[in-house]
């Protein structure tokens, strides 16, 4: 049977086997979900053969369901990733408006501690005890820095960083005051150079350590180390200063 009508019925054999062929060619499928042997009469193209219409195709349907679940999960994961990126940008924008608060503590500390040191020195006379009192107070104010990663709000974190930088200024002003007390003013240039150089050297050494800890999200260790440095420096200075006798300029 030539031409289109013959193609539709699958040729001469298609007419003879029209019932088992289901007038078409069967598609591939798994007829038994437990993989037991089964026999299906041949069919064609896109539909099952007539005999396969009543057989199960659980595996095919199950795979389609798995594919749908995976596709839905990937879509949900992409939405969550986009949400996290947007939240991170929003947090960065909000923090950017208040990052001036901690450095303000540094500047306020310069003014307050220099005034406090001069007042104590005028009242009691310059001595190791005066400078130890100031820097000991600053050590106590530095210790709460350990709690920074556990603070529940951004406002408390900023307040703690403000306090830490405020206390940090006391070590600088106290060290300068003690240096001018323990040494003559004729060595002011040497003292300034030693102070600035040692500060830069310490920063160059410890900053990679802090950077690595922060990159690894080990915030507790980073803040504990930052709080320990002032205490260690103060105790070291106190040991050396008390080892010698107080003397004037």
Calculate helix-pair angle for 154-182, 128-142, nearest 10 degrees.
160
- Examine the pLDDT at 215 and tell me if it is beyond 80: yes
> How deeply is 92 buried, as exposed, middle or buried, from its count of CB atoms within 10 A (0-12, 13-18, 19+)?
exposed
Higher pLDDT, residue 191 or 1 = 191
Q: What confidence category does residue 189 fall into, taking pLDDT thresholds of 50, 70 and 90?
A: confident
pLDDT, tens only, 55-65:
444 444 555 55
Inter-residue contact 164 to 138 (CB < 8 Å): no
Q: Is the pLDDT of residue 192 over 90?
A: no
Cα-based distances in Å from 211 to 167, 168, 172, 203: 22, 20, 23, 12
User: Is it the case that residue 5 has pLDDT exceeding 50?
Assistant: no
Sequence-separated (6 or more) residues with CB below 8 Å from residue 147: 160, 223
Q: Where are the domains of the chain?
A: 3-56, 59-97, 101-243
Question: How confident is the model over 105-148, as pLDDT tens digits?
Answer: 999 999 999 999 999 988 888 888 899 999 999 999 999 999 99
């Amino acid at each position: 049977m030539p031409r289109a009508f013959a193609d539709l019925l699958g040729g001469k054999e298609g007419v003879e086997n029209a019932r088992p062929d289901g007038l078409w060619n069967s598609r591939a499928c798994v007829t038994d979900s437990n993989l037991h042997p089964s026999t299906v009469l041949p069919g064609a193209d896109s539909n099952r053969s007539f005999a396969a219409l009543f057989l199960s195709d659980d595996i095919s349907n199950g795979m389609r369901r798995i594919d749908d679940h995976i596709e839905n999960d990937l879509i949900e994961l992409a939405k969550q990733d986009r949400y996290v990126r947007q939240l991170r940008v929003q947090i960065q924008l909000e923090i950017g408006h208040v990052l001036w608060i901690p450095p303000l503590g540094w500047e306020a500390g310069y003014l307050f501690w220099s005034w406090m040191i001069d007042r104590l020195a005028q009242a009691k006379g310059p001595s190791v005890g005066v400078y130890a009192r100031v820097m000991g107070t600053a050590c106590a104010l530095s210790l709460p820095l350990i709690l920074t990663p556990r603070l529940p709000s951004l406002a408390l974190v900023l307040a703690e960083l403000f306090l830490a930088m405020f206390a940090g200024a006391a070590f600088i002003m106290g060290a300068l005051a003690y240096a001018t007390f323990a040494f003559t003013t004729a060595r002011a240039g040497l003292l300034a150079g030693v102070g600035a150089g040692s500060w830069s050297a310490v920063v160059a050494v410890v900053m990679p350590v802090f950077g690595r800890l922060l990159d690894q999200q080990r915030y507790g260790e980073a803040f504990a180390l930052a709080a320990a440095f002032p205490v260690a420096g103060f105790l070291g200075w106190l040991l050396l200063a008390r080892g010698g006798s107080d003397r004037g300029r």
